[in-house]
Structure 1
Amino acid sequence: MPRSSKVTQPPCLCRRFHVDCSPKTCPQAQHAGSGDWNHYTIRAFCESAAGTPQAPPCKTCAAIVRALTEVDEVKLILRGSVEDLKNRGGGGMCEGAEEDFEMMLVELQAVASPPVSENQVRVVQTASELMRYTTLSHRWGNNERFTLVKKNAAEWASADIPWDTIPRTYRDAITVTRKLGVGYIWIDTMCIMQDDAEDWRHESTRMKDVYGGSYLNIAAVCAAGSHGGLFASSNLVEEFKTHDVPEQGEGSVEATATTTTTSSGKGKLRIRQQPHFTHTSFGSNYGGSSFLLGRGWVLQERLLAPRVVYFDQDELKWECYGGVDCLCGGMLVISNFSLEHRKSLGKWKEIHLPMQWMRIAERYSQCRLTFDVDRMIALAGIAEQAQKTGRGGKYLAGHWERDLAHQLCWEVLDTHRKPASMYIAPSWSWLSVFGRIGFSNRMDYQCWASTIDVRITQVEVTLEDEARETGPVTGGFLKVDGRVVEFDTRMTDPGSSSEPQTFSLTHREMETTLDYGVEVDYVMTEASAQKLETLLLLYWGEMWPHRKTFLVLRHAENAKEHTGKYERVGMIWFEGEADQPDFDQLMEWSQHREGIVIV
């Protein structure tokens, strides 16, 4: 819609699908200003498709209406939707449909010489050319064999890959890409050498460029593996049946409507309940129960791509920097994952990056990874994109230099696993522990709900590759000044394979044992738990709501390498008036200490 001081309505719904929409030419725009317009998505599309005496019918809206009851037509509107949303831009954030760096791509159609026929594909190496390509987000199967390896690399590059050997999910994604008129697709299993550790490491650090430069990311949401395919038989038509009504009326906010044309040419209204519980995995407050959305690598694929189309078991869903949508309209009334999470990556200068990053950290902590070693690298692309905004300072193993102390008040809510065989991150980083985490001091995106008592005097991380500030780390430390209390400790609850141990706290000089113990962040090995004889409580500050918070530290286990240093093992707090006497007692016992090093 052209910018004009005279136009006060928000963009009409069909503008999500084409850019030449305006209140003067599209009846749809007349509904955009009503308070509940986003509850009437389909009804508004229908009225726009029917037209008015003052304006002709909107062909795009008519196609959307047909797609509601004619499943095959879903595919037909996708191409126009993508093209127009690309032009729409979404606040200047949807640029970058082509990339010019060297990369592997799957070539699909006659864009080169010799031409590639309809059902023939091959892997090509681009040489810093401007290429338009799609990407695929998918879940690997348990025994994925169709991969690019050294043995077949030359064959895949020089000869056509037999169509019937390509897994169904890949074939479907290739077909969609062709229908969009795009000549290339990037699929990790076909474009990264899977038996070459160096190639994998190199390519895995470029996900920001690969997905950020794609024309469209195709998400195979309902496929359990590479043979599941994109398309599923939706039961929405049967579950949420349509009903004829005598004449077109206002309807209910809980219903959506479609129109058909009778033999007399008059419009007929059909109404149905808006589908529900089909969008929760896509919202901001859910980890995602689908095969795909709960995967760690997919979070950055979802956030970095300028636009994503989800092939869900129920319907097509859309997500881009401009917003979200789906065929039934329900995406418009749920929490907007795309906008809330992408704020930290874009041009919203008013957004406080460290605060917004907490939401990304909470979401990522819920995601699953096949290999623990990918913990840092699967987040690196998002961090690299956020770093470009310049609003967080230096990236520090999952945290930002700006307002760092506020970001270290994380707690582990489930799983409580810490790999004993490999180093992932410093103990003060939430990335060091596998499990869902939460920040009690995260209130909104503009302010902190906490008062910090410590002073961080130095922080450093040792990078595996100095050129990749957001990549894996091999070490790190934090030096702070603050008030501490030291306790003798013993294990009072051995926990289980999934529940961490609990330890008592006894003040050595006062010979006083606190009424409650400390449940540590992660399940310790038996040997590690037995070595634990003392704990240091470092008062960090007051978090929301009136929660006086202490970090729980132990002497570093590797005493030879970290003499006099500490590791974080937990967090404890005193909350409300009932705990105030205990907190006051700890403050009486506390002593100010400088130069506390946490590794």
Structure 2
Amino acid sequence: MKTHIFGGCTCCTGIAQRLRYLMRSLGLRPFQLALMAFPADPPSGSPMHSFAYLDCGNGKTGTRFNAYTYSGDPVSRIVPAFDMNVDTEQTTLEIKNWLSRCTCVPKLQASDNCLFKPTRIIDISNNPEVDIVVKSTSGLDIPSYVCLSYCWGGPQALKCTSSNFEPSQSWVVPYDRVPAAFKDTFKIAEKLGFRFVWIDSLCIIQDDPADLKTELLAMPNIFKHADLTVCASSSKAFTEGFLQQRPDFREKQIMLNLPEGTSGTAHLDSYTWWAPPVPEPLAQRVWAYQERWLSPRLLEYGWRTSRWSCSCQKNYSGNNNLSILKDPSRASDAVKSHKYYSLFSYLNPPGVRQFSLSGSDLFNSWTSIIRKYSALKLTFPQDRLAAISGVAIELHRATGVGYLTGLWDHERLPSFLLWRTERRFSERRMRPDDRRAPSWSWAAIDEGVIFQHSRVVLESFKIVDVGVSGDFDRSVQGFMKMRGPVRQGLFWHGSGTVALDPSESHITITKQDGHELLIWPDCVSDIVHREQGNAELVEIELTLIAVGRAHTDHGIIRGLMLLRDTAKESSDYRRVGMFQARDEGDFTVDNWGIEEVGSI
């Protein structure tokens, strides 16, 4: 069992924990409140959280709750604490301490031949509560600057335009016109000793397409070289500030009498990091995902407190660095490996995952990134490629692998083609009118996608040629020539049944001989029509091209569903979905003809 626990098995971890509950309970009097340390997640290295439960005796326990207190409460001697007040002198001292201990940015800048600086910057040197000035950085020394990541929440009332910036190459903004989220950012920057701040709506000329394109491509460098990125994680729009005291989300509280005549309060709740009581709006935004990914240092103002994360440390306001007391006879190996409690994962619901930048790990890294990214909200769907281009540029620099409008010119490119939608049919969107990407790229549709890990590519399948019209642009056209097993027909007409459940993401077609074909249409407008909540398949001939086999069952084949392009005299095809079937009966791949098809 220990081997499986170390391997991350949640079932074995739960059984072992239950046994520890039982052994501990048998040695205690009934109805005692038990406080304990437990890993936030099964893998080793996970932070230790503080939990409380009522021990009823004989191995019976009550519901397990998160246990914590607030900064300044005497109970912080035995329970980890955090601070709901994010705008105090103590909080500022904590942030300054995190900054002074962090070595991420100096190491990053030392690796460059010269320091990068954005095209424009906001100067708050006069006083953050007086007028601010947006300046061109040409000839200006910019030793350090702060970026803001926030939710636009609609059209910007205050933004940089050709008329207010270009005449003098500077723009004085009256303080009373500055929205709340920006004011809070300037306040933080001034307290931490920063003179310069970068905010997209004020530093990019919003009515100049050429400047927008240039600055979007510069986004990786802008956030990568920032000394700090402030995240307004709890604000829904630029009009909302984020320095106010956080609400009290406790579900229960227990008064505790402590030695020396003191007393305090332990607070309990049942929330998890993946299901907090309130979502953080910024965690649902596409542009913010890229900004968080690119930034070496994050100072986030979240749902419960302020949080710090960088590659060398993770912390939060009010952390009392409470030591974990261990009983060698009872403590698990996971507990023995930790010295202190940490509420970081619990207070950081979205989490910022670190991904490998090596070429060998590119498939796993990119598919994980896109699964999360593609499901996020985007104000302007045509920005679907642009809003992830910064991450793509960094991965391209690190690996040297060519970028193909949301995919990679990699040895596993065939597997990259096997993406499918996750949204159920009742919520599936129409195909966008704009052709911002080739149909074989997930960026061509407005759906969350998942990549099927088909590591085994059919020997008969080859990508003969592929090309795109641009690298990291907002809109890219491309083509792909594939050679492989092909079959054409009206697969869901005639004998057999079609099961189309609006609550599912796929359609199951069962032939008369019992063989099944599973299909995942990319959109409802290609081969599926929806009317008054009902969906039905269209009588249309499709071309199937088999690509690979399921990783866990090589008897399952997967491939692309193609539809001939509607353009006159076109011999090209458009992807309209993905299919899966067992390699038998009508779907025995060896019996299919080998053909070359082009897809746009």
- Provide the TM-score with structure 2 as the length reference: 0.71
Q: Which amino acid aligns with 2:435?
A: Y
1:591 aligns with 2:597: no
The residue aligned with 1:318 is: 308
The residue aligned with 1:397 is: 405
Q: Which amino acid aligns with 1:224?
A: K
The correspondence for 2:466, drawn from 460, 466, 487, is: 460
The residue aligned with 1:331 is: 344
The correspondence for 1:566, drawn from 565, 573, 584, is: 573
1:103 aligns with 2:110: no
The residue aligned with 2:202 is: 190
Q: CA deviation at 1:366?
A: 0.7
The residue aligned with 2:148 is: 136
Q: CA deviation at 1:554?
A: 2.9
The correspondence for 1:127, drawn from 109, 132, 138, is: 138
1:145 aligns with 2:157: yes
Cα distance in 2 for partners of 1:596, 1:538 equals: 9
1:408-463 CA-partner distances (Å, limit 9, x unpaired): 2211011543544211211111111211111231xxxxxx7545455333342322
The answer on whether the counterparts of 1:416 and 1:499 sit within 8 Å (CA) in structure 2 is no
Q: CA deviation at 1:501?
A: 10
How many pairs align? 499
The residue aligned with 2:99 is: 83
The residue aligned with 2:556 is: 548
1:202-223 CA-partner distances (Å, limit 9, x unpaired): 2122110111111111111121
Q: CA deviation at 1:380?
A: 0.4
Cα distance in 2 for partners of 1:527, 1:343 equals: 37
Greater mean alpha carbon deviation, residues 64-73 or residues 478-487: 64-73
Cα distance in 2 for partners of 1:525, 1:588 equals: 25
The correspondence for 2:292, drawn from 298, 302, 314, is: 302
The residue aligned with 1:476 is: 478
The correspondence for 2:173, drawn from 147, 158, 161, is: 161
The answer on whether the counterparts of 1:244 and 1:269 sit within 8 Å (CA) in structure 2 is yes
Secondary structure at the counterpart of residue 105 of structure 1:
strand
The residue aligned with 1:411 is: 420
Relative to structure 1, the CA distance from residue 395 to residue 542 in structure 2 (aligned partners, 3 Å threshold; closer, same or farther) is: same
The correspondence for 1:272, drawn from 254, 266, 269, is: 266
The answer on whether the counterparts of 1:459 and 1:476 sit within 8 Å (CA) in structure 2 is no
Greater mean alpha carbon deviation, residues 134-143 or residues 69-78: 69-78
1:180 aligns with 2:192: yes
The answer on whether the counterparts of 2:256 and 2:266 sit within 8 Å (CA) in structure 1 is no
1:293 aligns with 2:283: yes
The answer on whether the counterparts of 2:273 and 2:349 sit within 8 Å (CA) in structure 1 is no
Cα distance in 2 for partners of 1:167, 1:376 equals: 29
Cα distance in 1 for partners of 2:96, 2:414 equals: 48
1:468-497 CA-partner distances (Å, limit 9, x unpaired): x22245322222222222212568989899
Greater mean alpha carbon deviation, residues 497-506 or residues 302-311: 497-506
Q: RMSD in angstroms over aligned alpha carbons?
A: 4.4
Q: CA deviation at 1:82?
A: 3.8
The residue aligned with 1:30 is: none
Cα distance in 2 for partners of 1:486, 1:413 equals: 26
The answer on whether the counterparts of 1:134 and 1:184 sit within 8 Å (CA) in structure 2 is yes
Q: Which amino acid aligns with 2:404?
A: L
Secondary structure at the counterpart of residue 244 of structure 1:
strand
Cα distance in 2 for partners of 1:416, 1:176 equals: 42
Relative to structure 1, the CA distance from residue 488 to residue 118 in structure 2 (aligned partners, 3 Å threshold; closer, same or farther) is: closer
Cα distance in 2 for partners of 1:245, 1:95 equals: 53
Structure 1: 5+ residue stretches without partners: 1-33, 51-60, 111-115, 248-265, 283-287, 442-447, 575-579
Identify, as 1 or 2, the structure richer in strand: 2
Q: Which amino acid aligns with 1:277?
A: Y
- Provide the TM-score with structure 1 as the length reference: 0.71
1:522 aligns with 2:555: no
The answer on whether the counterparts of 1:406 and 1:452 sit within 8 Å (CA) in structure 2 is no
Q: Which amino acid aligns with 2:598?
A: V
The residue aligned with 1:7 is: none
Cα distance in 1 for partners of 2:504, 2:49 equals: 44
The answer on whether the counterparts of 1:96 and 1:212 sit within 8 Å (CA) in structure 2 is no
Cα distance in 2 for partners of 1:136, 1:168 equals: 13
Q: CA deviation at 1:39?
A: 2.6
Q: CA deviation at 1:239?
A: 4.8
User: How does 1:240-255 map onto structure 2 within 5 Å?
Assistant: 241=253, 243-247=255-259
Q: Which amino acid aligns with 2:245?
A: S
The answer on whether the counterparts of 1:90 and 1:322 sit within 8 Å (CA) in structure 2 is no
Cα distance in 1 for partners of 2:347, 2:506 equals: 39
1:22-51 CA-partner distances (Å, limit 9, x unpaired): xxxxxxxxxxxx9887336999999xx99x
Relative to structure 1, the CA distance from residue 95 to residue 307 in structure 2 (aligned partners, 3 Å threshold; closer, same or farther) is: farther
The answer on whether the counterparts of 2:356 and 2:365 sit within 8 Å (CA) in structure 1 is yes
The correspondence for 1:378, drawn from 387, 392, 397, is: 387
Relative to structure 1, the CA distance from residue 43 to residue 519 in structure 2 (aligned partners, 3 Å threshold; closer, same or farther) is: closer
Cα distance in 2 for partners of 1:102, 1:293 equals: 25
The residue aligned with 2:35 is: none
The answer on whether the counterparts of 1:463 and 1:471 sit within 8 Å (CA) in structure 2 is no
Secondary structure at the counterpart of residue 293 of structure 1:
helix
The answer on whether the counterparts of 1:102 and 1:127 sit within 8 Å (CA) in structure 2 is no
Cα distance in 2 for partners of 1:231, 1:481 equals: 58
Secondary structure at the counterpart of residue 369 of structure 2:
helix
Secondary structure at the counterpart of residue 415 of structure 2:
helix
Secondary structure at the counterpart of residue 299 of structure 2:
strand
Cα distance in 2 for partners of 1:35, 1:154 equals: 52
Ranked by relative contact order (alpha carbons within 8 Å, sequence separation 6 or more), the top structure is 2
Q: Which amino acid aligns with 2:473?
A: G
Q: CA deviation at 1:372?
A: 1.7
The answer on whether the counterparts of 2:117 and 2:222 sit within 8 Å (CA) in structure 1 is no
Percent sequence identity is: 21
Secondary structure at the counterpart of residue 343 of structure 1:
coil
